[in-house]
Structure 1
Amino acid sequence: MPDLLAALLLGIIEGLTEFLPISSTGHLLIAQHWLGPRSDFFNIVIQAGAILAVTLVFRQRLWELATQLHVPAHRDYVAKIAVAFLVTAVVGLPVRLAGWELPETVTPIAWALVIGGLWMLLAEHYAEKRGDIATVSWKVAVLVGLAQVVAGVFPGTSRSAAAIFVAMLAGTSRRSSATEFVFLVGIPTMFAASGFAFVELVLDDALGGEDWTAVALAFTAAAATGFVVVRWLMGYIKAHRFTGFALYRIVLGLLLLTLMPAGS
């Protein structure tokens, strides 16, 4: 396959999966088994495209929060975003510095997809018994931060899935409210993670040899696709459950375990 086409497909996959509860890291690792491995810099750039997308989707909400901090409800909400981010940073940074690396086979990703799908079905079932609660509590903020770390350690889990369903179980049972909070927390979290990874590459002098055309194409594809997906998802979950995503994860995970039992 031509390299530019492979880069385009990887950018689209990143945009499609970064904010859907199906694991972007898992899908990219799987895709790169067929499309060829990419550099860490390439993966950082396409993730930045997805971050740009969600930032643009929530630009009005972000502007509202930034310019109306004098409103107690907005100040409280921003503080909870900050707490969730800080929990992720404080707990996740030591994991990163310890040298944790992504798996080289798809087996652990496949199991994470299956287990995560089952967890989503159960979590949404029990969360709905709480009623329609839109409030984000301090407990939810802390647990969302921890969930992001867990998802980072176990690729295939999905950062958005882990955080959204923890939020729903912990008290923010309204799907749209839990999802919006998780996405807003994800903006500083992912910017910080990408920035940290970029600095590591600079310090290791590992930025040479990139095909900048392929990188730019993949970044654009991730940003454009991510923008469409996030806008669609925020409308979809107002009237639909996450069941379809859970079933997709389970089926994909089982297919990978069946077709690739050795993991590669």
Structure 2
Amino acid sequence: MSELLAALLLGILEGLTEFLPISSTGHLLIAQHWLPRQTDFFNIIIQAGAIIAVTLVFRQRLWALATGWNDPVQRDYLFKLGTAFLVTAVVGLIVRKLGWELPETVTPVAWALIIGGCWMIVAERIAERRGEIATVSWKVAVLVGLAQVVAGVFPGTSRSAAAIFVAMLAGTSRRASATEFVFLVGIPTMFAASGYTFLELAKDGQLGQVDWAAVAVAFLASAVTGFIVVRWLLGFIKSHRYTGFAVYRIVLGAALLLFLPSGA
């Protein structure tokens, strides 16, 4: 398989899975068992494409928050976004300094997909019993920040799934409200994570010999696909549950355990 085709496929995969509750990191780890393994710089770039996509989708909301400082409601929401981001940044940096690394086999990813899928089904049912609560509390903000770190430590968990369902269980039971808050927190979170990794690579001199054509293809594929997926998901969850994604996770995880029992 050519490098450009592999880059295109990985870019599309990142755009499809970054914001759906099915784990982009888990899918990329699985895909790279069959596709050429990519550099950390490549992975940063395709994630950047997804970040650009979600920023464009929420551009009006972001502008309203940036210019609505005098509105107590907007200001309170912005402070809660900042709190969730700071919790993720501080705890995530501690985890990074402790030497955490992604697994080399798909077995832990498979189990995370299965367990996460079961948890999603249960959590959504519990949240629905409370009725439609759209308010984001300070407790929700802190727990969303922690959930993002947990998802980073256990590939296959999914950052969006962990954070959305923690938010729903902690008080923001309305799917659309929980999803919007998590997606907005994800923008500075992923920008910071990508920027931090980029600086680390630059410091270590690992940015040389980059295949810029493959990087450009992957970036564009991730951005375009991510934009379409986020727009679709925001409309979908207004009248549908997340159950379909949970079932997909369980089936995929079981298939990986069945056909790759050694995790190779």
Q: Give the TM-score, by structure 2 length.
A: 0.99
Q: Distance in 2 between matches of 1:28 and 1:62?
A: 29
What is aligned with 2:4?
4
Q: Distance in 2 between matches of 1:117 and 1:209?
A: 40
What is aligned with 1:245?
245
Q: Distance in 1 between matches of 2:132 and 2:252?
A: 31
Amino acid at match of 1:73: V
SS of alignment partner, residue 258 of structure 1: helix
Q: Does 1:254 align with 2:254?
A: yes
Q: Distance in 1 between matches of 2:98 and 2:62?
A: 34
What is aligned with 1:38?
38
What is aligned with 1:70?
70
What is aligned with 1:227?
227
Per-residue deviation at 1:98? Answer: 1.6
SS of alignment partner, residue 223 of structure 1: helix
What is aligned with 2:215?
215
> Deviations 1:188-238 (Å, cap 9, x if unpaired)?
000000000000001111111211000000000000000000000000000
Q: Distance in 2 between matches of 1:174 and 1:68?
A: 24
Per-residue deviation at 1:155? Answer: 0.3
After alignment, is 199-208 or 233-242 more displaced?
Answer: 199-208
Q: Distance in 2 between matches of 1:69 and 1:173?
A: 26
* Structure 2 unmatched runs, 5+: none
After alignment, is 205-214 or 105-114 more displaced?
Answer: 205-214
Q: Distance in 1 between matches of 2:34 and 2:109?
A: 16
Per-residue deviation at 1:97? Answer: 1.4
What is aligned with 1:117?
117
Q: Give the TM-score, by structure 1 length.
A: 0.99
> Deviations 1:89-122 (Å, cap 9, x if unpaired)?
1111011112211000000000000000000000
Q: How does 1:42-57 map to 2 (within 5 A)?
A: 42-57=42-57
Q: Distance in 2 between matches of 1:208 and 1:158?
A: 31
What is aligned with 1:102?
102
Q: How does 1:105-254 map to 2 (within 5 A)?
A: 105-254=105-254
Q: Distance in 1 between matches of 2:34 and 2:99?
A: 26
Q: Distance in 2 between matches of 1:260 and 1:162?
A: 25
Q: Distance in 2 between matches of 1:75 and 1:27?
A: 37
> Deviations 1:112-139 (Å, cap 9, x if unpaired)?
0000000000000100011000000000
Give the % identical residues: 77
Amino acid at match of 2:152: G
Q: Distance in 1 between matches of 2:241 and 2:154?
A: 24
What is aligned with 2:79?
79
What is aligned with 1:91?
91
Amino acid at match of 2:167: A
Q: Distance in 1 between matches of 2:69 and 2:106?
A: 45
Q: Across the two proteins, how many residue pairs are aligned to each other?
A: 264
Structure 1 segments of 4 or more deviating over 4 A? none
SS of alignment partner, residue 34 of structure 1: coil
Per-residue deviation at 1:2? Answer: 1.2
Per-residue deviation at 1:36? Answer: 1.4
Per-residue deviation at 1:4? Answer: 0.4
Per-residue deviation at 1:84? Answer: 0.1
* Structure 1 unmatched runs, 5+: none
Amino acid at match of 2:41: F
> Deviations 1:49-100 (Å, cap 9, x if unpaired)?
0000000000000000101110000000000000000000111101111221
